[in-house]
Amino acid sequence: MTIRFLLNGREVACESAPDRRAVDLLREEFGLTGVKEGCGGGECGACAVLVDGSARLSCLMLAAQLAGRSVVTVEGLGTAEAPHPLQTAFAEHGAVQCGYCAPGMLMAAADLLARDPSPDREAIAGAVSGTLCRCGGYGKIVEAVERAAEAMRPGPVRKALRKKRGGA
Amino acid sequence: MPQEFSQIDRRHPRNDALPKALGLERFAADHYPEGLLWAGARRAGIPHARIRTVDVSAAAALPGVVRVLTRADVAGSNLQGIVHKDQPVLAGDKVRHCGDAVALVLAVDRETLARALSLVRLDLEPLPGVFDPAQALKKGAPLVHEGRRGGNVLVRASIRTGRGAAVLRECPVVVRGTFSTPMQAHAFIETENGTARLLPDGTLEMTVSTQAPFRDRFEIAQALGLDPMRIRVVAPYLGGGFGGKDGATVQCLLALAALHAGGRPVKMWWEREESMLAGYKRHAARLTYALGADRDGTLRALSCRIVMDSGAYAHLGGEVMALGMESAGGPYRIPHADIRGLCVYTNNPVAGAFRGFGAAQTAFAAERMMDRLAEKLGMDPLELRLRNALRRGDRNAAGVTMTASTGMAACLEALRAHPAYAAREAWKRAAPPHARRGAGVAAACIGVGYGRGLPDAATARIELTETGTFRIFNAVPDMGQGNASAFALIAAEALGQSPASFELVQPDTACCLPSGSSSAGRTTYTYGNALVRACGALRDRLLVRGAMALLADDTADLTLAPGAVRHVKSGRAVPLALLARMMILEDRTATAEFVMPVTPDATGGKGFVIGFPHLLFAYAAVLALSEVDELTGAVRVRRFVSATDGGRVLNPQGFEQQVAGALIQGMGWALSEDVLTREGRILNPDLSTYLVPTAADAPEVDCLAVDSVEETGPFGMKGIGEVNLNAALPSIGAAVQDACGARLDAAPLTPEKVLGARPRRARRTP
Ligand code: FES
Ligand code: FES
C-alpha cells in the first residue's frame, strides 16, 4: 500500500507492506538511521520517534500506523547548522558517550519538555527511564535536559517582550 | 614540577558528541549497502549434543534464500578464539552450548531469513552436560571438549608468595568467607553486527562493531583459510562494547557468508535474544577466602581459591583469571599468600572479556573480607584499608611490586575528606519511614594493559592536511569511552593547536596502523603515547619546512603556533595551509610506535599463558550510600562518591563519564543483573527480564580525581575505564549490611535475598 505522512516536516509517500515495522521503514527506506534499534521489543527506547508530538516506539509500530501522522526523528529535531537546544545540551554537558541511546533519549526529553517546560530532576529521570543507557550516563543526561529546558524557557526579558507584543 | 597545559585537564565536549546527538554518526548497524543480503545463524538451542544431521534442503528451497551453509562449507580451521582456538564458526560434530551456530543462511530479506532459519532441520543427539564448575570438575563428568588434555579444566594457575597460606596459623585474627558473583551480560544497546562484501579482486571488506579490527583479520583468516592481508576491517564508533565485542562475534560468520554471496554485500545483525544467547558474558565466579592479620590490623596472610565458569569455550578465560588473581588480595600489602585459580569449561553460555576483567569478581571477596576483619578488630573499615594500602615500592599479595604511580592511599584520603563521608551518620539517621540507610566503603585496583607475555603496542599516524588542518588516524576503536576525542586533545596539546583543527579517522585496517584492541584500560595510554611521539616528529618537520619558507637559519628560533609556523623574534609567520601546499603527503605524515613498558618484576605464578603481571595499576576508593526498603528488601543506591587514581585527567568531562558509567554498570551487577540459566538455557534473554539500571535507579555520583601523574603516560594519564566498576558491588554490599544487618556473600543483592538475610532483630517493622 502507499503510505503518506509528514516526515520531519516534509510530505512523503512510499510503497510498503502495511505490516512492515515503522523502524525498518524509517531506517531502510528513508535512510534515517538516527532512529536506533536496540531490542525490537519495546524494552530499550532506542527507537523512539515523535508521532504527532509524542514519543512512540517505532519498533512496536507498523508502517500503516504512520499514515496521515506527523513523524519527527532525531534528524528532524535539529540540524547541524541549527541543532535543537536539547541536542546542543547533550553534546555540551557530556550526555553522549557511545551515543547509541541519545536519539531515543532526545525524543523522550522533547516529549517531556513539550508537556512540562520546567521539569525537576525527578520528572526528567522519570520521563527518560524507559530509555536504557548502558554507558550509565544518566546523571549527565538529566543535567543536559535541565540545561536545555532552561535555554528553551522564555527568561524574564523574553517573557516581557512577548507580553508587549501580545504573543503567548 | 607543575606543568602548564592549554588543553589537558580542561572540560571539553567530545568531538563525536554533536554528530551522535544529531543522529548523523553512522554506527556499523547503520550501514545498508545497495543490494544487500541478510545473513543469520541457526543456533543449536540445546546445551550439549552430538550432531547427527543438519538438513538444509527445505530452507535452501525457500524462494529468496541464496545459500545455506554448514560446517562442510568452511575451508579453514573452523576455529575462533583470541588466544585458545576452540570455538567453531559452524559446529560440525557436536554442540557445546545453546548458542552454538550450526547453519548459516543468506536471504534477500529478513522475513525470508527468519523463515529459512526455522526450516533448517537439526537432528541432535542430546548428551549429558555440565552446568556448573563443581559438576564439571567431578571425576567422570561429561567432557565439554573430548580428548582434550586437562579435561574440563581450561586453566589451573597458582601464585604463592612469602611462606604462603601457612602463615594464617600464626595470625591472631583470621576471617573466612565464600563468595559468589553472577554471570553478567554486556547488554550494549547496539547488538553485535556488521556488513561484509567480497570485492572482485578478492579483498574481503568488512564494517563491524568490533573492539579489535586488526586482530579480527587474523582470527577470521585462520578460521576460514584466508589471507589475513586480503581482509579489510573498518570499525566505526561502537554503540557500546565493554569487552563483549573483543573477539569474534559476527566476524567469521559474516565473512563466511560474504564468501558465498556472489559478490553481494551481506549484513548480519544479532537480535537482542541472540545477543544474549550467543554473546559473551562476565565469568560467574565462586571465591573462597581466608585473610589473616595482626591485632593492629596489619595484613599478613591470604589464602584464596577462585573458580570461574568459562562456559563452552575459552575466549579469554585464562587471561581473565590471571587479572583476577593478580588483584585477589586487593590494593593491599600482604606478604604471604596462596592464590589458586581454576577456569572451567561447562555447557553454559560462553564467558569472555568484560570491564573489570576478573578483578571485579575478586574485588568483591577481598573487600568484604576487609569489612569482616574491620568488624572483628573493631576498626573503622576505611582506616583499616588505609593502614594496608599499597604505596609505591610495596608488593601486593600476588608478589607484584608497585613500581609506577600508586595512589591508593591518596584515593582513600580523598574519600575520607569528602563532606559526604563525614556526614554519613547524619544521613543514615534521616532515613525516611520504612527505610534503613547504610554506608559502605570499598577500594579497588586493576592492572592496565595486556600484562607480560604480549606486546602492548600501538602505532599512531597523523597528517597535516592539504588545507593546513590535521587528521588523526585513530586505530583503536572508540566504543563509547571517548578515546578518539582524547586523541584530538592529546594532539592539540602536543602541537599547540586548537582541538577544532583535528579531524578523526576511525579505525580502518586499510589506512590506520596496527594498534591492538580497545580494551584493558590501555586504549588511550598506549595509542596516546604513540600519538605524542608522532606529533613530536611532525612538529620538528614542520619547523624545518617552515625555516625554509621563512629563510630562517635556525629552527630554534621558530615555534609552531596555532595555524602557523612563526619566527619568534621577527614575528613573521607562514600559515600551515601554505606550508602544506609545499609538502607532499609523505612529508605531511608522521607515524610513531609505542610499546607499553613491562614490569621488571620476576614474580612467580604458575599456569599463566599471558597477562600477568602488570606494571601499571589504576586505583579507586568508593563510598556507597544505600537505602534498603524494610518492606520489600529492595536496595537503592542514593549516592556514590568515588576518588580515582587513573593518572592525570585529560578531560574532566570524559573522566566523569567513565567513572559514573562504571559505577552504574557495577551497580547493575550488584543489585539486579544475573544471567539466569537452567541446564545451560538462559531464562531471562531480553531486557524486560534481564534488568539493567535505568535513569530512575541512577544515584548521584561524585567523581573525584586524586592528584596523580603517571610518568610513562601521555601527559601523565594511565587509564580510568574499569577500576570503579570493581568497587561498586563491595561498597554496596557493605552499605546494605550497615543498613539492615544483611550480610550477603552471593551477588546480586536481590530484594528476596536481602529480606531473607536480615538478622531477626532487624526484621521487626515499627
Ligand atoms: S528497539 Fe524499540 S524499544 Fe528497543
Ligand atoms: S551513551 Fe551509550 S548507551 Fe547511552
Whether residues A15 and A44 fall in one domain? yes
Whether residues B334 and B252 fall in one domain? no
Instruction: Supply the DSSP string of A83-111, one letter for each residue.
Output: --HHHHHHHHTT--SS-SSHHHHHHHHHH
**Bond from prior residue into B759 cis (ω within 30 degrees of 0):** no
- Chain A residues within an 8 Å CB radius of B239: 36, 38, 98-100
Question: Least CB-CB distance to B688: which of A43, A79, A102?
Answer: A43
User: What pLDDT digit, counting tens, does each position of B331-344 carry?
Assistant: 999 999 999 999 99
CATH number at residue B70: 3.90.1170.50
Whether residues B587 and B548 fall in one domain? yes
Closest Cα in chain A to B271: A39
Whether residues A6 and A58 fall in one domain? yes
- Are B742 and B630 spatial neighbours (Cβ–Cβ below 8 Å)? no
CA distances to A35, B331, B333, B393, B681 from B385, in Å: 48, 9, 10, 17, 41
pLDDT band at A164 (very low <50, low <70, confident <90, very high): low
Looking from the CA of residue A57, the nearest atom of ligand 1 is: 2
Distance CA B438, CA B435 (A): 10
Whether residues B500 and B589 fall in one domain? yes
- Are B232 and B344 spatial neighbours (Cβ–Cβ below 8 Å)? no
Residue B630 inside a domain? The answer is yes
Q: Tell me the average pLDDT across A69-96.
A: 98
Most distant CA pair in chain A: distance in Å?
52
Whether residues B656 and B748 fall in one domain? yes
Instruction: Output the CA torsion sign for B756, B758, B760, B766.
Output: negative
Distance CA B362, CA B359 (A): 5
Distance CA B291, CA B337 (A): 9
CATH number at residue A130: 1.10.150.120
Helix ranges (DSSP H) in chain A:
22-24, 74-77, 85-92, 102-115, 121-128, 138-152, 156-165
pLDDT of A166 above 60: no
Whether residues A100 and A41 fall in one domain? no
Residue of B20, B273, B640 best to disrupt the A interface, most CBs of A under 10 A: B20
Distance CA B50, CA B95 (A): 6
Whether residues A49 and A104 fall in one domain? no
Whether residues B238 and B289 fall in one domain? no
Residue B749 inside a domain? The answer is yes
The answer for residues whose C-beta is within 8 angstroms of residue B736's C-beta and 6 or more apart is B438, B440, B626, B628, B635, B742, B744, B749, B754
Whether residues B495 and B625 fall in one domain? no
Which of A25, A33, A36, A44 to mutate to test ligand 1, by most ligand atoms within 8 A of the CB atom?
A44
First-last CA distance in chain B: 59
Domain that holds residue A26: 2-77
Helix ranges (DSSP H) in B496-647:
523-550, 576-581, 585-588
Instruction: Output the CA torsion sign for A15, A18, A20, A22.
Output: positive
pLDDT band at A162 (very low <50, low <70, confident <90, very high): low
Distance CA B236, CA B217 (A): 16
Instruction: Output the CA torsion sign for B536, B537, B540, B541.
Output: negative
Question: Least CB-CB distance to B687: which of A34, A75, A132?
Answer: A132
Cα-to-chain-centroid distance, residue B406: 21
Domain that holds residue B506: 457-595
| ipTM of the shown complex | 0.97
- Are B327 and B349 spatial neighbours (Cβ–Cβ below 8 Å)? no
Query: Any bridge partners for residue B281, and if so which?
Result: B185, B351
Whether residues A25 and A63 fall in one domain? yes
- The pLDDT, as a whole number, for residue B766 is 42
Is residue A52 classed exposed, middle or buried when 0-12, 13-18 and 19+ CB atoms within 10 A define those classes?
exposed
User: Three-state SS for B344?
Assistant: strand
- Are B243 and B519 spatial neighbours (Cβ–Cβ below 8 Å)? yes
CA distances to B81, B92, B143, B201, B644 from B346, in Å: 17, 19, 8, 43, 36
- Chain B residues within an 8 Å CB radius of A90: 17, 21
| Domain count across chain B | 3
Whether residues B662 and B753 fall in one domain? yes
CATH number at residue A38: 3.10.20.30
| Domain count across chain A | 2
Whether residues B354 and B291 fall in one domain? yes
Region for B545 from its dihedrals, namely left if φ exceeds 0, alpha if ψ lies in -120 to 50, beta otherwise: alpha
Closest Cα in chain B to A47: B189
CA count, 13 A, side-chain hemisphere, B766: 6
Is residue B202 classed exposed, middle or buried when 0-12, 13-18 and 19+ CB atoms within 10 A define those classes?
exposed
Cα-to-chain-centroid distance, residue B4: 32
Whether residues B637 and B706 fall in one domain? yes
Residue B641 inside a domain? The answer is yes
- Are B42 and A94 spatial neighbours (Cβ–Cβ below 8 Å)? no
- The pLDDT, as a whole number, for residue B609 is 72
Distance CA B236, CA B507 (A): 7
Q: Which of A54, A77, A100 is the last residue of a domain?
A: A77
B755: enclosing H helix or E strand: helix B751-757
Indicate the DSSP class of residue B545: H
User: What pLDDT digit, counting tens, does each position of B717-757 carry?
Assistant: 999 999 999 999 999 999 999 999 999 999 999 999 999 99
Residue A35 Cα to ligand 1 midpoint, Å, equals: 10
Distance CA A50, CA A64 (A): 16
Q: Which of A56, A77, A98 is the last residue of a domain?
A: A77
Whether residues A90 and A69 fall in one domain? no
Looking from the CA of residue A45, the nearest atom of ligand 1 is: 3
Nearest CA to CA, how far is A156 from chain B (Å)?
29
Q: Tell me the average pLDDT across A133-150.
A: 98
Query: Of the candidates B647, B654, B598, which has an alpha carbon nearest to the alpha carbon of residue B620?
Result: B647
Whether residues B213 and B305 fall in one domain? no
Distance CA B354, CA B521 (A): 11
What does the CA dihedral B567, B573, B574, B576 come to, rounded to 10 degrees?
Answer: 90
- Are B56 and B117 spatial neighbours (Cβ–Cβ below 8 Å)? no
Cα-to-chain-centroid distance, residue B22: 27
- Chain B residues within an 8 Å CB radius of A88: 18, 21
Q: What are phi and psi of A72, to 5 degrees?
A: -120, 125
Q: Which of B204, B236, B269 is the last residue of a domain?
A: B269
Whether residues A89 and A68 fall in one domain? no
User: What pLDDT digit, counting tens, does each position of A32-70 carry?
Assistant: 999 999 999 999 999 999 999 999 999 999 999 999 999
| C-alpha cell recorded at residue A91 | 553534546
Whether residues A45 and A66 fall in one domain? yes
Whether residues B650 and B628 fall in one domain? yes
Whether residues A66 and A13 fall in one domain? yes
For residue A144, the one-letter residue type is A
- Chain A residues within an 8 Å CB radius of B685: none
Buried b (16+ CB within 10 A) or exposed e, B455-468: ebbbbbbbbbbeeb
Nearest CA to CA, how far is B697 from chain A (Å)?
9
Indicate the DSSP class of residue B509: T
Looking up cell 609505591, which residue turns up? Answer: B392
Nearest CA to CA, how far is A31 from chain B (Å)?
9
User: What pLDDT digit, counting tens, does each position of B452-482 carry?
Assistant: 888 899 999 999 999 999 999 999 999 999 9
Residue of B108, B184, B189, B207 best to disrupt the A interface, most CBs of A under 10 A: B189
Whether residues A56 and A98 fall in one domain? no
- Angle B623-B301-B616 from CA coordinates, rounded to 5°: 55
Ligand nearest to the CA of A39: 1
Nearest CA to CA, how far is B527 from chain A (Å)?
19
Residue B482 Cα to ligand 2 midpoint, Å, equals: 12
- Chain B residues within an 8 Å CB radius of A78: 22
Whether residues A105 and A129 fall in one domain? yes
Whether residues A33 and A97 fall in one domain? no
The length of chain B is 766
- Are A153 and A118 spatial neighbours (Cβ–Cβ below 8 Å)? yes
A66: enclosing H helix or E strand: none
- Are B36 and B266 spatial neighbours (Cβ–Cβ below 8 Å)? yes
Whether residues B446 and B559 fall in one domain? no
Ligand nearest to the CA of A105: 2
CATH number at residue B719: 3.30.365.10
Q: Which of A61, A77, A93 is the last residue of a domain?
A: A77
Most distant CA pair in chain B: distance in Å?
87
- Angle B587-B592-B598 from CA coordinates, rounded to 5°: 175
- The pLDDT, as a whole number, for residue B30 is 98
Is residue B141 classed exposed, middle or buried when 0-12, 13-18 and 19+ CB atoms within 10 A define those classes?
middle
Task: Tell me, yes or no, if the pTM score tops 0.90.
Answer: yes
- pLDDT beneath 70, residues of chain B: 1-3, 602-604, 761-766
The answer for residues whose C-beta is within 8 angstroms of residue B682's C-beta and 6 or more apart is B98, B276, B277, B349, B675, B676
- Are B259 and B198 spatial neighbours (Cβ–Cβ below 8 Å)? yes
